Amino acid sequence: MITLADVQAAATRIAGSVLRTPSLPSASVSRACGADVVLKLDNLQATGAFKERGAANRLALLTAAERAAGVVAMSAGNHAQAVARHAGLSGTAAIIVMPRFTPATKVTRTASWGAEVVLHGETLAEAAAHANHLAAERGMVFVHPYDDPQVMSGQGTLALELLEDAPGLDVLLVPVGGGGLFAGCLAAAEAHPGVEVIGVEVAAYAAMAQRLAGQPVTVGGPTIAEGIAVRDIGEAPLAVVRAHGAEVLVVPERAVEQAIALLAEGAKLVAEGAGAAALAGLLAYPGRFAGKRVGIPVCGGNIDARILANVLLRNLLRDGRLLRLRMEIPDRPGVLADIAGRIGTAGGNIIEVSHHRLFASPSVQSAELELMIEARDATHGAAIAASLAEHYAVRLLSGERAED
């Protein structure tokens, strides 16, 4: 059972090797959420995530013999990079086992810190089993990503800094994967009894919420928050969470995507899915936090550029700033120019055009046209569609898949 004293000791131990990241108010995020939001920018760490805190604390406590033997870690990415970096800084050999699904960005960055990367298994559980096997086989120290008191204490330094730098918080929302950060933040908040610390899990991997409710753990499925896609939460973090009587909120996948987009567009910050999960909790439960002063850790920024681009485009569809139209038009000269002119006059910008003449249309005298149009907002998009509908048969295609 870790305490405030453990977190404070960890803060002293890792000072200088881990960045003390800024805690900044965000007017744009606050307006969007109806709360007074303070963002803790741990995406600015050298490895792009808060995991450095726990890794630095755990590795600082290795004995000389353990340091000579080296360390093994298992992670979908951020813990991997953290252990790799701090092992390299201390001259300790490191083997990192990562699931095969791990984004290429995280694999490449982990290797760049000098660790040996082993891709094994389809799940974190399979990767963990292989990492434990390697540690036992080679006599190396296994550094668990969350089920370790010293890792938990190190992670809690995030909340220690945030609560010092942003006094008067009512709530601290914390992403939950294995539970190490959540437990550490609960311990750090012991010095601030007026602050409620609440965990946030993504719906596909709500293992902590299920354990707290006494339900069987049923998780799985695709999620953009792969960093917290954990089946087996830590028993040590779970004990801390239960001792504090803490609550965990479960958010849909869509809320995580919206949080990533809001941080990018509103706060000008890049966040990965797991790193944006705390903000997703605020977006998914706006009434719960309306008017409150809320601390939101942006825990990680290691997201593939392609995934980030897709998230932003899906959010534009949801917001009505990208308009998808299907039109049946006469197949004669000048029609496309007329349509383009009407869209331009209405202030829209054509992004994509797909013109089908041979097979898609029911008549040889007509054609089918699909358009992607950029609009200022949903109201502007509706006005563009209405202008076209005065002269052509128009079907509005909403972002059905993006709405799931």
225 and 346 in a common domain? no
Do residues 196 and 275 both lie within one domain? Answer: yes
Tell me how far apart the alpha carbons of residues 7 and 56 are, in angstroms, rounded to a whole number: 13
Please state whether 48 falls in left (phi above 0), alpha (psi between -120 and 50) or beta. Answer: left
Domain range holding 120?
52-143
270 and 330 belong to one structural domain:
no
Statement to judge: residues 9 and 158 lie in one domain: yes
Q: What phi, psi does 2 have (nearest 5°)? A: -80, 155
Which of residues 295, 314, 333 is at a domain's end? 314
Q: Return the amino acid letter for 96.
A: I
**Looking at the structure, do residues 125 and 191 belong to the same domain, yes or no?**
no
Q: Do 29 and 158 have their domain in common?
A: yes
Token pair listed for 157: 């330094």
**Tens of each residue's pLDDT in the chain, 404 residues:** 899 999 999 999 999 999 999 999 999 999 999 999 999 999 999 999 999 999 999 999 999 999 999 999 998 778 999 999 999 999 999 999 998 887 777 788 889 999 999 999 987 778 889 999 999 999 999 999 999 999 999 999 999 999 999 999 999 999 999 999 999 999 999 999 999 999 999 999 999 999 999 999 999 999 999 889 988 999 999 999 999 999 999 999 999 999 999 999 999 999 999 999 999 999 999 999 999 999 999 999 989 889 999 999 999 988 889 999 998 888 888 999 999 999 999 999 999 998 876 555 566 667 889 999 999 999 999 999 999 999 998 988 865 444 44
- Domain tally, the chain: 3
Give the residue from 299, 314, 329 where a domain finishes. 314
The values of phi and psi at residue 151, to 5°, are -65, -45
Q: Is the dihedral of CA 227, 78, 192, 34 positive or negative?
A: negative
Same domain, 309 and 195: yes
Report CA 161 to chain centroid distance, whole Å: 21
* pLDDT reported for residue 400: 44
- The CATH number linked to 71 is 3.40.50.1100
CA distance 181 to 178: 8
223 and 337 share one domain: no
- Residue 42, both tokens: 């741990």
**Measured distance CA(304)–CA(309) in Å, rounded:** 9
292 and 186 housed in the same domain: yes
Considering the domain architecture, whether residues 309 and 332 belong to the same structural domain is answered as no
Give the residue among 210, 209, 223, 199 at the shortest CA–CA distance from 278.
199
Final residue in a domain of this structure, among 122, 143, 164: 143
Q: Dihedral of the CA atoms 153, 304, 281, 54 (nearest 10)?
A: 0
Whether residues 349 and 214 fall in one domain: no
- Comparing CA positions, the residue from 131, 184, 171 lying closest to residue 281 is 171
323 forms beta bridges with 373
**Statement to judge: residues 86 and 106 lie in one domain:** yes
The side-by-side arrangement of strands in the sheet containing 393-397 is 349-356, 366-374, 322-330, 393-397
